[in-house]
């Protein structure tokens, strides 16, 4: 017998994923210290983490369409089991290997819970993706604050990561589907394959999502650095940058979930990207810390709604027997922007300055808003 509804299973999965990544972000300095990893070592390990996720995403989508919803709790449980690995590493090599495994497990879980959420949207006719992603962001904020308190109290890494891993594993138990939930091949066509052509409309949506993720991770990675380096903020003040950005993402996603109506996806995307561009502009050229923080908040609220809306559009446009494959393909392409964005900002800042580099992020937001206004968005399917 299932423990929670399909809708509750998706929300539980997103919250569990957010809990871990909030812990990870706040505990990363201690992980780096204990693994004796230099900045270059850590940078390489983070790239390997992202590569692990990229490798697993599309494959997970194909398996979901073949095996059905019973795969979702398995992906959550495997990710929970790998969640203690960062606390156990003692060298840069061990850190890199652990993060590859962690990234692959995270990518698989990410696709599974997004696919579940899309299927629930189609079945119920009610929006879910922005609410689910808001739950992820809220969990990141809360778990990062809790991790900060644990680190302040002197807790060892294993005492920080183990509870998070246990919560993720518990979520896998709560996410078990009921016996009435079955997926299988339909009359719409053959089962999806790992090596098959990705349709052009899906590549386009993925590319647009990559630009949105580019903006999002640029501010998450460089917001605090900008406040400290450009505006001479203290470390305590600069930490407000990523915290307020994440909180604004929660508000933006909840607002769209509550206020947006079916058929209004284009308006959501155009407005969200425009807000991301406007907020990024203010933050990049701000003469004071307070104004920069205000810009970061606006940018966070704007770009937050783009990725979940695009995943929803892509999943609803897919044939029912290929929905998870489409979600896995879209998130794979989108994740490239999440990986490349911060590196591009750093590279441009190296040859110019950080204000100008972040200004290009603002320009990207306005460009994305224009693209959302003119591209053809696919229609949804029922069933």
Q: State the pTM of this model.
A: 0.83
Kindly state whether residues 172 and 222 are assigned to the same domain. Answer: no
Q: How far apart are CA 189 and CA 286, in angstroms?
A: 54
**What pLDDT score was predicted for residue 1?**
45
Looking at 146, 177, 208, the residue that finishes a domain is 177
Q: Which of 298, 294, 292, 293 is nearest to 278 (CA)?
A: 298
Looking at 177, 206, 231, the residue that finishes a domain is 177
**What pLDDT score was predicted for residue 190?**
58
**What pLDDT score was predicted for residue 23?**
86
CB 17 within 8 A of CB 108: no
Kindly state whether residues 92 and 218 are assigned to the same domain. Answer: no
208 within some domain: yes
Kindly state whether residues 309 and 243 are assigned to the same domain. Answer: yes
Q: How many domains is the chain built from?
A: 2
Looking at residue 232, which CATH number applies to its domain? 1.20.1250.20
DSSP state of 192: P
Kindly state whether residues 14 and 115 are assigned to the same domain. Answer: yes
Here the tokens at position 227 are 């406040």
CA distances from 212 to 73, 300, 308 (A): 29, 11, 10
Kindly state whether residues 216 and 341 are assigned to the same domain. Answer: yes
**What pLDDT score was predicted for residue 187?**
42
Kindly state whether residues 165 and 223 are assigned to the same domain. Answer: no
Q: How far apart are CA 111 and CA 107, in angstroms?
A: 6
Kindly state whether residues 142 and 232 are assigned to the same domain. Answer: no
**What pLDDT score was predicted for residue 186?**
44
Q: How far apart are CA 330 and CA 86, in angstroms?
A: 28
Kindly state whether residues 168 and 276 are assigned to the same domain. Answer: no
Kindly state whether residues 173 and 202 are assigned to the same domain. Answer: no
Instruction: Supply the range of the domain harboring residue 145.
Output: 1-177
**What pLDDT score was predicted for residue 281?**
97
User: Which parts of the chain sit beneath pLDDT 70?
Assistant: 1-4, 39, 178-196, 198, 380-383
CB 209 within 8 A of CB 306: yes
Kindly state whether residues 240 and 353 are assigned to the same domain. Answer: yes
Kindly state whether residues 129 and 260 are assigned to the same domain. Answer: no
**What pLDDT score was predicted for residue 221?**
78
193 within some domain: no
């Amino acid at each position: 017998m299932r423990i929670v509804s399909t809708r509750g299973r998706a929300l539980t999965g997103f919250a569990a994923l957010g809990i871990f990544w909030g812990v990870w972000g706040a505990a990363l300095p201690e992980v780096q210290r204990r693994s004796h990893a230099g900045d270059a070592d850590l940078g390489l390990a983070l790239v390997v983490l992202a590569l692990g996720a990229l490798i697993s995403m599309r494959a997970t989508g194909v398996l979901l369409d073949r095996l059905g919803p019973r795969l979702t709790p398995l992906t959550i449980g495997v990710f929970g089991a790998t969640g203690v690995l960062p606390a156990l590493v003692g060298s840069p090599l061990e850190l890199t290997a652990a993060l590859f495994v962690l990234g692959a497990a995270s990518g698989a879980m990410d696709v599974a819970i997004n696919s579940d959420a899309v299927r629930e949207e189609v079945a119920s006719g009610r929006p879910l993706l922005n609410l689910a992603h808001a739950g992820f962001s809220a969990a990141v904020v809360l778990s990062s604050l809790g991790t900060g308190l644990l680190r302040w109290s002197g807790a060892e890494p294993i005492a920080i990561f183990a509870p998070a891993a246990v919560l993720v594993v518990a979520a896998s138990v709560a996410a078990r589907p009921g016996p009435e939930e079955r997926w299988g091949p339909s009359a719409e066509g053959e089962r999806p394959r790992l090596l098959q052509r990705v349709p052009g409309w899906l590549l386009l949506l993925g590319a647009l999502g990559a630009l949105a993720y580019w903006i999002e991770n640029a501010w998450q990675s460089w917001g605090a650095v900008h406040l400290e380096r450009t505006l001479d903020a203290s470390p305590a003040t600069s930490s407000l940058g990523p915290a307020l950005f994440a909180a604004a993402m929660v508000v933006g996603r909840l607002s769209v979930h509550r206020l947006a109506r079916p058929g209004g996806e284009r308006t959501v995307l155009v407005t969200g990207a425009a807000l991301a561009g406007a907020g990024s502009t203010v933050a990049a050229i701000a003469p004071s810390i307070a104004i920069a923080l205000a810009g970061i908040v606006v940018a966070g609220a704007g770009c937050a709604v783009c990725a979940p809306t695009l995943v929803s559009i892509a999943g609803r446009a897919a044939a029912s027997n290929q929905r998870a494959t489409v979600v896995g393909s879209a998130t794979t392409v989108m994740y490239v922007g999440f990986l490349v964005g911060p590196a591009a900002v750093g590279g441009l800042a190296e040859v110019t300055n950080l204000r100008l580099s972040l200004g290009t992020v603002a320009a990207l937001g306005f460009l994305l808003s224009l693209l959302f206004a003119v591209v053809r968005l696919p229609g949804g399917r029922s069933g």
